[in-house]
Structure 1
Amino acid sequence: MTGRQRVVVIGGGISGLATAALVAREGAEVTLVEARDELGGRAGRWSSEGFTFDTGPSWYLMPEVFDHFFRLLGTSSAEQLDLVRLDPGYRVYFEGRDDAFDLPATGARDALVSLDPTAADRLDAYLASAAETYDLATSRFLYSTYESLGPLLGRGMLARLPRLARLLGEPLDRFIRRHSRDLRVQQVLGYPAVFLGTSPAAAPSMYHLMSHLDVGQGVLYPRGGFSSLIDAIARLAEQHGARLHTGHRARRITVEGGAVTGVEVETPDGGTRHLPADVVVSSADLRVTERQLLGPEHRSRTDAWWDKRDPGPGAVLALLGVRGELPELSHHTLFFAREWERGFDAIYGADPRIPDPASLYVCRPSASDEVAPEGHENLFVLIPVPADPEIGAGGVGGAGDAKVEATVDAAIRQIATWAGVPDLAERVVVRRSIGPADFEREFGSWRGGALGPAHTLRQSAVLRGSNASSRVRGLLYAGATTIPGIGLPMCLISAELVVKRLRGDRTAGPLEEPA
């Protein structure tokens, strides 16, 4: 970057805020515009009757990515967040079994092996491979803009190419089955595919690296919830000079002579304003950016391109305030259906439908934080469903659309039965549901998807797409719909990739941290 460039960032989710902070530290004049009245995007908060809920991300994984991001801004995770290590990292209920499985904070490998002692050597090989592949991904792939493939093929990479080809060509579920025949182990090793917006059958086995995160590294939690992470990044962005404007909806990216000139926004009073810019970074959903903010002549992707893409899963969320304690649930609790392949087929198959029974995720942050009135619990329930806004929108107190509320009711019954809390439904005192139509309306999510485009082979790494427009100079992208992909750590890295673009940095690894 030369001179004091004017940069406008569209979107106040974690990727937009992180971009604003990093680019402002580079010396640019940064203005961020967010359509909603609060920052955070999917990583929002909602409070009611003394309960405080995170409305989106709830897993703190890849801590070194957060550490690196904060160090780039001259601070640290320890200074900005109050992190605690969860023990157990999570609990699993398997359909048809009374005994739950806990993944402890220490001895996680031994706990996993206890599910299938005959596979101890194979599981050790699996975890060692996951650690090695994770290190390779963070050093060679995740922090690359793919402007040049040369840095990806440096010393040692040529010898690894045959192994990488095998990991990319074999589905994750098949790779897992070669290491254990126990269904419980297969589910524990395969569920991280959901974090990638896909199924174990569709994810390349390269993504077995995800098991290094929970089994190898453990699971952390920021006290105050994930909105405390958003608050920290927004605070740092402003400290470095970025101006953050909520209630300002981007309406059009203006272009002259093939280069961006700014962003036209709608202001809170209903007026319009043009923000001039030398660089525009859109962290909005890529389809929104292309279809709503750019004219047809400036779009890089055709309708045929979009028709071939996988939007990932949708979700029905339930925010539940519950009277009394729930020791049956850990901070993170997973409920795995015995025939979970049928559930994935229901979500991603040719006949999309809401799975029954579904494999659920439940977060109980009141186990680790003061987010509920005394003597009460706070639950966040995620039910994976097809990416389909026709499923409907949610509401407060059971006032959402019929399919959404029926899905929540079924999930409450399932949790009650599997975890042994027969009176759970009667103890719910606060209830809010969120459906795919809410994701589409509130966040511009393509087809109401909850996470972002699935990490299938054709939508991973360099095949996921560039973070720079091929038609408009000065237009860059950040967020879950561009590289490197889905999840809070990936969104932080996407912000760093914007800086690498602006610097002309084509290296494959993370930026050098300041002394």
Structure 2
Amino acid sequence: MRRGLVRRGPVRSGGRSAQDAVVIGGGFAGLATAALLAREGHRVTLLEAQPSLGGRAGEWKQDGFRFETGPSWFLMPEVFDHFFALCGTSTAEQLDLVRLDPAYRVFFEEAAEPFELPATGAAAALTALSGDPHGLEKYLSSAEETYQLAVQKLLYSTYSSTRSFLEPELLTRLPKLLRLLGEPLDRFIARHTSDERLQQILGYPAVFLGTSPRDAPSLYHLMSHLDINQGVLYPKGGFSAVVNAVERIALREGVEIRTNCRARHITGARGRATGVHFTDEHGQRQFLQASVVVSTADMHTTETQLLAPDHRSLKPRLWGRRDPGPSAVLGLLGVSGELPQLAHHSLLFTRDWQRGFDEISGKRPDGGAPRSVYVCRPSATDAVAPEGSENLFVLIPVRADPALGHGGTEGNGDPGVELVLDEAIEQISQWAGIPDLAQRVTVRRSIGPADFAQDFGAFKGGALGPAHTLRQSAFMRGPISSSKLAGLFYAGATTMPGIGVPMCLISAELVLKSLRSDSTAGPLEAPIAR
């Protein structure tokens, strides 16, 4: 058995009466929640089941290559700025950010040349692609307006009071918001451009939301403001550097972090959370008493495994109607020689991409390659591969079903997973003009849906979290606080506000707002006073 580490921050004392808090999970949501609670004055212990922190934002090293196994797009920089400001520091102090140019490269099926979105003049480049400036200008203006409204009045709301909906700025824009919620994203995009390539570029962010443009509310067209208007950044060291930064802050605030410690049961008495039973790094059963418990584990795991039936907030029948979002087959590839054909971020879009979304959602059986694929080449920007080699992260969205199997190293994963990755490598080879790509792979690891289910307790092996459909967005997504146990809270991608690292940071703040009984719509004032 691998023993975990116990890392303790400095013991803090202050004027406030400290309460004991236990945070379950050491991904972004768990680390951020622990840091904020500790800064607020709580004595915090964080329990992480894996040997290392980061959750899905993990890393794997082999033969001089350093691969990241999770998020790779750094978007919504103001959310990171705000979180670090809450903790009395700044993004500039914690991270080394570089702007990617191009922001990404797109390979369209059967197109002679790929399209590049430049770091500057992105709107002009898209206009040249489609030949229609007016529809795009209107679309991007609406995306920016909606994004600013979301950040200021929607994403940081706990929806615990009707006052959240009575903000004057919300009320004046309510008719437009209702239209955006009622119209699918793909239809909204089609009203602004008839060019199929531009429709795909404007619609692909729905994948970041765990759904398709046909199933996502058009409210989420705000995502186009991020990559087109704001541009795409990269933290040197990857998202592992971001994990390390949040861990540093948590330790500085006094959090005790314990890895290889798996939560087993959240206890409660007389309607209040009382603590957490867990298996420690030595395999011994332990108990931590606490007046505040925050679970950042998958909501399904928390509800069905960590809580007694009478302490569960969600009814069992609801899980049958829950859309888990897509799973994925991931490929971590070390490649000899350079790959200038690929940008830091590259997207491969099939012509009939709705077929792919239908296969991912289970509306039709898997039809095999070609599929829409995402490729990250961090070695274009960072030192993550030996000299003269490249590092590739390949993501192929698939249906959320652990039956597809586990991944493995050097092609030894389950056959279904390895076949999907083989087909993706061949597709990249053909579309990007790298005929000998497969022969140049020297390091290979695959990850499949069963790995997401096993390692992270992901519902149905989902790779991201529940899809952002209308019924799984905003206050309909998942509770921040338990309806059965006072002092029990939830954070992470499976609850409000949703999927992605920025959303996980916001969910940590929502826990703190709930503890304060703060029903305001916007973010907290920074920094948090000690």
TM-score, normalised to structure 1, is 0.99
- Map of 2:76 onto structure 1: 62
Pairs within 5 Å for 1:181-200: 181-200=194-213
Cα distance per residue 1:453-478 (max 9 Å; x no partner): 00000000011122111111110000
Cα distance in 1, alignment partners of residues 242 and 162 from structure 2: 33
Secondary structure class of the residue paired with 1:156: helix
Fraction of identical pairs, as percent: 63
Amino acid corresponding to residue 331 of structure 2 in structure 1: A
One of 37, 47, 53 as aligned partner of 2:67: 53
The answer for the alignment partner of 2:526 in structure 1 is 513
Distance 2:266 2:367 in 1: 37
Q: Report the CA distance between 1:346 and its aligned residue.
A: 0.6
1:204 aligns with 2:207: no
Offset of residue 320 of structure 1: 0.1
Matched residues in 1 for 2:511 and 2:367: separation?
37
Other-structure match for 2:114: 100
* 1:360-375 superposed matches below 5 A: 360-375=373-388
* 1:314 and 1:449 in contact (8 A); partners too: yes
Q: Contact 1:352–1:386 (CA<8 Å) still a contact in 2? A: no
Structure 1 stretches of 4+ moved >6 Å? none
- Answering whether residue 120 of structure 2 is matched by residue 109 of structure 1, we say no
Is the aligned partner of 1:87 residue 2:104?
A: no
Q: Does 1:158 align with 2:163?
A: no
Summarize the alignment of residues 128-277 of structure 1 with structure 2, pairs less than 5 Å apart.
128-277=141-290
Aligned residues: 514
Question: Is the 1:90–1:334 contact (alpha carbons within 8 Å) kept by the matching residues of 2?
Answer: yes
Which of 8, 14, 19 matches 2:28?
Answer: 14
**1:314: which partner in 2?**
327
Q: What is the letter of the counterpart of residue 69 of structure 1?
A: F
- Match of 1:300? 313
Aligned-partner SS, 1:236:
helix
Q: In the alignment, what sits opposite 2:85? A: 71
SS of match in other structure, 1:58: coil
State whether residues 347 and 355 of structure 1, in contact with CA within 8 Å, keep that contact through their aligned partners in structure 2.
no
Cα deviation for residue 159 of structure 1 reads: 2.3
Uncovered stretches (5+) of structure 2, i.e. residues with no partner: 1-14
Deviations for 1:391-410, whole angstroms, at most 9, x for unmatched residues? 00000110100000000000
1:24 to 38, 43, 66: 38
Q: What TM-score do you get using the length of structure 2 for normalisation?
A: 0.96
Cα deviation for residue 355 of structure 1 reads 4.7
Measured after TM superposition, the shift of residue 158 of structure 1 is 2.1
Cα-to-partner distance string for 1:83-104 (whole Å, 9 max, x where unaligned): 1000000000000002110000
Q: Deviations 1:256-304 (Å, cap 9, x if unpaired)?
A: 1121110001012111110010000000000100111001111111221
Task: Output the CA distance in 2 between the equivalents of 1:77 and 1:168.
Answer: 33
- The one-letter amino acid of 1:197's match is G
Q: Secondary structure of the equivalent of 2:168?
A: coil
Residue 410 (structure 1) aligned with residue 423 (structure 2): yes
Query: Aligned with 1:306: secondary structure?
Result: helix
Closer, same or farther in 2 for the Cα pair 1:139/1:410, shift >3 Å? Answer: same
Q: Is the 8 A contact 2:73 2:232 kept in 1?
A: yes
Distance (whole Å) between structure 1 residues aligned to residue 167 and residue 315 of structure 2:
34
Cα distance in 2 between the residues matched to 1:290 and 1:361: 33
Aligned-partner residue type, residue 25 of structure 1 = R
* Pair 1:395–1:510, CA change in 2 (3 A): same
Instruction: Tell me how far 1:152 sits from its aligned partner.
Output: 2.7
